[in-house]
């Protein structure tokens, strides 16, 4: 298939400029003629890479699809409407529309774009095709995407201030110790005053930073790069890093609860849409960004596939809280597992919100105390001896 950039005119005289895939220009002209459009010009654009849609762009695309489908617009016309322009979303819609025009179902077209749509999205689209209510399936998918995006934003907001403060300290403190402190201390030494112990400590630290700071910084960056590589996907320390991310004080519980909330919601929606429970658990494992949670959901899916109840499958893994296991058991016995898992997701989401607030409330004052302590130390170590020396000189004069 060749991607063409074409210009065409509709029966009403409207000019259309868009992209489409076709075996050749003649096939493109025939396809446009079947839609009542006359091809004016077709060119093969320069090759360009496929851009991945961001979560916010994907959510906007889902919402536009829902509005147009619920308004009664046919699926192909809905995709063609979203295909106008040269944005990443428009190119994605054009590729889906071309696949539909070639006779492929939407689920197959979505699965053919793994950089844009996850297996979870493919499962929801397939369920919508089966039930005949594609708009409802996309609505559920949009709700999941929106929930995941909100949780990600909450985590980022919770850690943004501490990280920004630490980065500023990492730059400002060495700069003070290397450039400002030596000059002030040289002035104090010229005046010949007796230096207190905290000033000697500052002199020692400043000398150490000047002599070895660059080497330590380079070594730290190299060690961080090697550690990041070792903790990457498929690398030796990936499991260790995943476990550490769940055990770090304040940040670990927040990450744990947030990911459980998203995964439980996905299982509930997929199972409620008619997908087998083991398949829903397997798809949730692909959505978990933490390796330990990924493996736990995959193992639970395998256990359920063997015929055991889901609460036993979840209970075999310590990463799943007792509340989740107990409510899953209750949902199984009552026949409302999807509703129960939605309640579990809501509980974990509220806990994640509370953890984010606790993180912001705890880290902010601690960093403020650290900054105030550093500033107070430098001021006391430099200005007090300087003031004492000037006062002594004033008395002598």
The pLDDT tens digits of the residues spanning 185-223 come to 777 666 666 678 888 888 888 888 888 878 888 888 888
Instruction: Answer yes or no: are the C-beta atoms of 37 and 8 closer than 8 Å.
Output: yes
Taking 50 as the threshold, does the pLDDT of residue 92 lie above it?
Answer: yes
The pLDDT of residue 44? 59
pLDDT at 302: 92
d(CA 180, CA 389): 19
Displacement of CA 1 from its chain's centroid (Å): 33
Contact in structure between 381 and 201 (CB atoms under 8 Å): yes
Pull the structure tokens for residue 380: 């006391």
49, part of any domain: no
- The reply to whether 304 and 223 lie within a common domain is yes
* Confidence at residue 46, expressed as pLDDT on a 0 to 100 scale: 47
Q: Are 140 and 273 in contact (CB under 8 A)?
A: yes
Q: How far is CA 82 from CA 42, 75, 86, 107, 277, in A?
A: 20, 11, 11, 17, 34
Is there a single domain that holds both residue 74 and residue 101?
Answer: yes
Domain with 13, as residue range(s), is 2-43
Strands (E), the chain: 2-10, 15-22, 37-43
The tokens of 49 are what?
A: 């890479």
pLDDT of residue 236: 65
Asked, for residue 118, whether it belongs to a domain, the answer is yes
* End residue of a domain, out of 92, 123, 145: 145
274 and 296 in a single domain? The answer is yes
Looking at the structure, tell me whether residues 222 and 341 fall in a common domain.
yes
More confident call, 318 vs 83: 318
Q: State how many domains the chain has.
A: 3
Q: Within 10 Å of residue 370's Cβ, how many Cβ atoms?
A: 13
In percent, the amount of the chain with pLDDT more than 90 equals 8
* Residue, of 46 and 94, whose pLDDT is higher: 94
The verdict on 252 and 374 lying in the same domain is yes
Q: What is the H or E stretch that residue 218 is in?
A: helix 197-230
Is residue 130 in a domain? yes
Residue 50 within any structural domain of the chain: no
Query: How far is residue 125's CA from residue 107's CA, in Å, rounded to a whole number?
Result: 5
- Per-residue pLDDT at 329: 92
Q: Which residue has the higher pLDDT, 188 or 29?
A: 29
| Same domain as 60, residue 121 | yes
120 plus 159 within the same structural domain = no
**Whether residue 188 is found in the same domain as residue 223:** yes
Asked if residue 25 is part of any domain, the answer here is yes
Whole-prediction pTM value?
Answer: 0.65
Q: What is the dihedral of CA 290, 110, 306, 293, to 10 degrees?
A: 10
pLDDT, tens digit (0-9, with 9 covering 90-100), for 263-317: 898 888 888 878 889 988 988 887 777 888 888 999 999 999 999 999 999 999 9
- Predicted pLDDT of residue 374: 82
Q: Does residue 215 sit in the same domain as residue 315? A: yes
Is 130 found in the same domain as 10? Answer: no
Residue 171 lies in a domain: yes
Judge whether 150 lies within some domain: no
d(CA 319, CA 234): 21
Convert the pLDDT of each residue in 37-72 to its tens digit.
Answer: 888 887 755 444 445 678 888 888 888 889 988 888
Is 14 part of any domain?
yes
pLDDT, one tens digit per residue, over 323-366 is 899 999 999 888 889 899 999 988 988 888 888 777 777 777 88
CATH of the domain at 141: 1.20.81.30
- Mean pLDDT for the chain? 81
Instruction: State phi, psi for 85 to the nearest 5 degrees.
Output: 105, -175
Nearest-angstrom CA–CA distance, 294 and 85: 38
DSSP assignments along 340-360, one per residue: HHHHHHHHHHHHHHHHHHHHH
Q: What single-letter DSSP state applies at residue 87?
A: S
Q: Of 79, 114, 145, which residue is a domain's last?
A: 145
| Per-residue confidence band for 224, with pLDDT thresholds at 50, 70 and 90 | confident
According to the model, what pLDDT value does residue 320 have?
A: 92
Same domain? For 206 and 229 the reply is yes
Residues 238 and 265 in one domain: yes
């Amino acid at each position: 298939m060749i991607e063409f950039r074409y210009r065409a005119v509709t029966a009403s005289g409207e000019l259309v400029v868009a992209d489409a895939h076709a075996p050749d220009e003649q096939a493109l002209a025939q396809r446009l003629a079947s839609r009542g459009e006359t091809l004016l010009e077709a060119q093969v654009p320069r090759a360009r890479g496929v851009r991945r849609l961001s979560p916010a762009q994907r959510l906007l695309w889902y919402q536009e699809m829902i509005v147009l489908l619920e308004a009664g617009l046919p699926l192909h016309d809905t995709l063609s409407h979203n295909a106008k322009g040269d944005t990443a979303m428009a190119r994605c819609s054009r590729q889906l529309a071309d696949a539909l025009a070639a006779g492929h179902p939407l689920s197959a077209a979505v699965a053919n774009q793994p950089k844009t749509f996850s297996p979870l999205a493919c499962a929801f689209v397939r369920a919508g095709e089966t039930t005949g209510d594609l708009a409802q399936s996309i609505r559920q998918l949009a709700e999941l995407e929106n929930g995941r995006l909100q949780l990600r934003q909450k985590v980022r907001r919770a850690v943004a201030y501490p990280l920004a403060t630490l980065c500023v300290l990492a730059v400002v403190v060495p700069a003070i110790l290397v450039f400002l402190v030596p000059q002030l201390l040289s002035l104090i030494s010229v005046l010949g005053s007796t230096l207190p112990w905290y000033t000697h400590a500052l002199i020692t630290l400043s000398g150490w930073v000047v002599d070895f700071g660059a080497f330590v910084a380079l070594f730290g960056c190299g060690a961080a790069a090697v550690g990041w590589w070792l903790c990457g996907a498929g690398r030796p320390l990936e499991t260790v890093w995943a476990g550490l991310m769940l055990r770090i004080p304040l940040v670990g519980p927040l990450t744990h609860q947030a990911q459980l909330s998203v995964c439980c919601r996905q299982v509930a929606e997929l199972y409620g849409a008619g997908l087998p429970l083991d398949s829903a658990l397997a798809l949730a494992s692909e959505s978990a960004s933490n390796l330990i949670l990924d493996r736990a959901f995959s193992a639970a899916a395998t256990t359920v596939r063997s015929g055991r109840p889901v609460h036993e499958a979840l209970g075999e893994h310590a990463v799943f809280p007792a509340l989740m296991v107990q409510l899953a058991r209750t949902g199984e016995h009552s026949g409302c597992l999807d509703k129960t898992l939605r309640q579990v997701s809501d509980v974990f989401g509220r806990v994640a919100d509370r953890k984010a607030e606790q993180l912001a409330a705890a880290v902010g004052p601690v960093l403020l105390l650290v900054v105030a302590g550093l500033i107070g130390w430098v001021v006391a170590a430099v200005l007090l001896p300087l003031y004492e020396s000037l006062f002594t000189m004033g008395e002598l004069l």
